[in-house]
Amino acid sequence: MQAGPELSIVMINYNAKELTAQAVDSIFAVSPQLSFEIVLVENGDRPEEQFPGRPGVTVLRNVENHGFGHACNTGAAAAKGNCLLFLNNDTIMHPGTLEACTAYLKENPRTGGLGARTLLADGTLDHACKRGFPTPMASLYYFTGMDRRHPKSRRYGAYRQTFLPEDAVAPVDSVAGSFLMMPRRVFEQAGGFDETFFMYGEDIDLCYRVKQAGYEIVYYGAASLTHLKGQSGLHTKSRRVIRQFYDAMALFYNKHYRGLYPRPVSWAVLSAIWAKRTLSLIRARN
């Protein structure tokens, strides 16, 4: 029986054929020194923007778009590798990153999830690549700007992990779904992505459950990639996207934190999310 590839890369395309092709091409361009496959799940509703078939890429087409997490679960179920990488279609791969991250996971069996140093197009760090969980206090320090005023503080910088050097290799609470690598056995043990999250929040929720299962989440700053953030998402001022973003915040809090904090704290947190959601929708309309 033929063994599967060392790495299965799961990507999602949603009406962004050229962007997705650029991401796929960047993987082949760095000539990874390991066996890999790309499983691409077509989630879009515009035939002209669907990703065409090509050698080395398996394309799965969803009849309906049930969200990012559902598409990732679909891709993972079809993947043949023992190591899974969930990779955004707006990324550019850097040489050596896939090999280094895969090797780290193999050498560290207690690592259940790993994220690489993720750079924006201007070369600055995408802070979502290393995060703490959004506890009420961590969220308060983030939204009030305390982490920017005290970046070296473990207390004030808890959410964005600002105290960690960009090239650090260290345990964190969560890494971003734009580059999330994990052993298949851990992904399956955690139950995969929670499809209740349509878009946003599903990565931090999965990392939370992986840590609950007793594994570490590691930020691997020794390897990097570029994330062309801004190609889609909140900047588009799509009212649907804005709703999904803030609804994911409330969903995560209700799922994991509501029972841990007094009612006044939960009321304050959920009220703040609702207020930010409302204000963002008003701004998008103007």
* Residue type at 189 in one-letter notation: Q
pTM for the structure as a whole: 0.94
For the chain, the domains span: 7-232, 236-285
* Residue type at 174 in one-letter notation: S
How does pLDDT run along the chain (286 residues), one tens digit per residue? Answer: 457 899 999 999 999 999 999 999 999 999 999 999 999 999 988 988 999 888 889 999 987 899 999 999 999 999 999 999 999 999 999 999 999 999 999 999 999 999 999 999 999 999 999 999 999 999 999 989 999 999 999 999 999 999 999 999 999 999 999 999 999 999 999 999 999 999 899 999 999 999 999 999 999 999 999 999 865 554 556 888 899 999 999 999 999 999 999 999 999 999 999 998 899 888 887 7
Q: What contacts 9, CB < 8 A, 6 or more positions away? A: 27, 36, 37, 38, 39, 85, 87, 98
Instruction: State whether CATH 3.40.50.720 applies to domain 7-232.
Output: no
